[in-house]
Amino acid sequence: MLYVVITFLWASILLYLLLGGADFGAGIIELFTSEKNRSRTRKTMYQAIGPIWEANHMWLIIAIVILFVGFPAIYSTMSVYLHIPLTVMLMGIIARGTAFAFRHHDAVVDDWQTVYNRIFTWSSVVTPLFLGIIAGSAVSGRINPAAGNFLDAYVFSWLDWFTVAVGLFTVAICAFLAAVYLIGETDNEMDRRRFIHKTQSSNIAAVICGALVFTAAHFEGIPLMHWIFGNLVGVFSIIAATLSLVLMWYLLRKGKTKILRLLAGSQVTMILLAVTWHHFPRIVLFTNGGYLSLMEHHGHDKTIASLGWALLLGSIFILPALFYLIYSFQQKNGNGVEEAH
C-alpha cells in the first residue's frame, strides 16, 4: 500500500504542475501581453482554464495531506526549514485567487481594477517561482539540520543560484503550458498566431532557464547531470521530451495544433520523471549527507494502509466528477465561461 500512496503523491504533484501550472501560466501570458490584446487574451484564458479553475488546488491539497498524514517527518522538516518560501507561495495563491474574484465580481468598476489585475498577474509569477524554489531546495542538499543561526537554517537552506534557477524554469514551464492550451481555445486566426508565437517564446525561455539550472548546479556542486543522465530512465525521458519538442515545433510550423496539449503534457511529465527517478525514494537531501526517504521515513503501517484505501476510494468519486466538470464546460463551447467566474 506504500507504493499506492507514493504513486498518488507523485501523480498529484504532476497534475498540479500540468493543470495548476497552466493556470498560473495564463496570468504570466497576460502579464506579457500588450494592452490592446489583453482583453481578448483574458477571454480566451477563461475558456481554457474554466474547466479546471475550481479544481486546480485540489492536487496541491492532496499532496500536502499525503505528506502530513503519511510522511510526518518529511512534512515537518520541509515546513520548518522551508517555511519562508512556503509562506510566500501560499500568500501568492491567496492573493491571486482573491484578485481574480474581485476583478470580476467587484460591483464598482474603477481604478481598483488595475490593482486587481496587477496583483493577479504578478502573483501568477511569484507563486510558481517559489514552488520551483521549494522543489529545488528539497534536493539541493542545502538544508542543514545542524545550523546554528537563523540565516543558515531558514534562508540559505533555499536561497541559492540553483534553487532560483529551478524557480525560473518552473515559471517558464507554466507559461509554456498556458500558451499551448490557449491555442486550441480560439477560432480567431490572429489570436491563434499570437498564441503560437507565445508558445514558441515561452518554450525558448524554458530551454534557456533549463540551461541555467544545469549551469547553476555545476557551480553549486550539485550532480544534476549524473541524476538525469546516469540511468536509463533519465536518458529515455530526456530523449522522449526532446523528440516531442521537435515534433511540437514541426506541428506549429504546419499549423496543426490538435495534439499540442498532449505533447506539452508529455514533455513536462518526462522532465519530472527524469529529475526524480535517480534519487527516489529520497525526497529531502541534507548538507551532512543525510536524507529523508519515502520508503524509510513514513508513518505507521496502519496509517499508510488507511491512507492508501482513502486515496483509492476517493479517486472513484473525484475523477468522474472532474471529468464531468470538464465535459460540462466543453458543452458550453466557451459561452458563459466569464459569467461562471
Classified as helix, coil or strand, 292 is strand
On whether residue 170 sits in a domain, the answer given is yes
On whether residue 263 sits in a domain, the answer given is no
On whether residue 326 sits in a domain, the answer given is yes
Q: What is the pLDDT of residue 303?
A: 93
Query: Given pLDDT bands bounded at 50, 70 and 90, which one contains residue 304?
Result: very high
- In the predicted model, what is the mean pLDDT of residues 278-307? 91
Length of the chain: 341
All residues at 6 or more sequence positions from 29 whose CB lies less than 8 Å from its CB, including other chains:
41, 45, 175, 178, 179, 182, 198, 202
User: Domain residues for 169?
Assistant: 2-222+297-340
Q: Is the dihedral of CA 84, 206, 242, 195 positive or negative?
A: positive
- In the predicted model, what is the mean pLDDT of residues 196-215? 91
User: What is the grid cell recorded at 288?
Assistant: 551532512
Task: Say whether pLDDT at 333 is over 60.
Answer: no
On whether residue 143 sits in a domain, the answer given is yes
On whether residue 302 sits in a domain, the answer given is yes
- In the predicted model, what is the mean pLDDT of residues 151-155? 92
On whether residue 156 sits in a domain, the answer given is yes
Domain count, the chain: 1
On whether residue 54 sits in a domain, the answer given is yes
Q: What is the pLDDT of residues 160-189, one digit of tens each?
A: 999 999 999 999 999 998 888 888 777 777
Task: Say whether pLDDT at 334 is over 60.
Answer: no
Q: What is the pLDDT of residues 244-279, one digit of tens each?
A: 888 888 888 776 767 888 888 888 899 989 988 888
Q: What is the pLDDT of residue 48?
A: 65
Contact 25, 177 (CB under 8 A): yes
Task: Say whether pLDDT at 340 is over 50.
Answer: no
**Residue of 322 and 331 predicted with greater confidence:** 322
On whether residue 80 sits in a domain, the answer given is yes
Q: What is the pLDDT of residue 339?
A: 39
One-letter amino acid for residue 108 of the chain: V
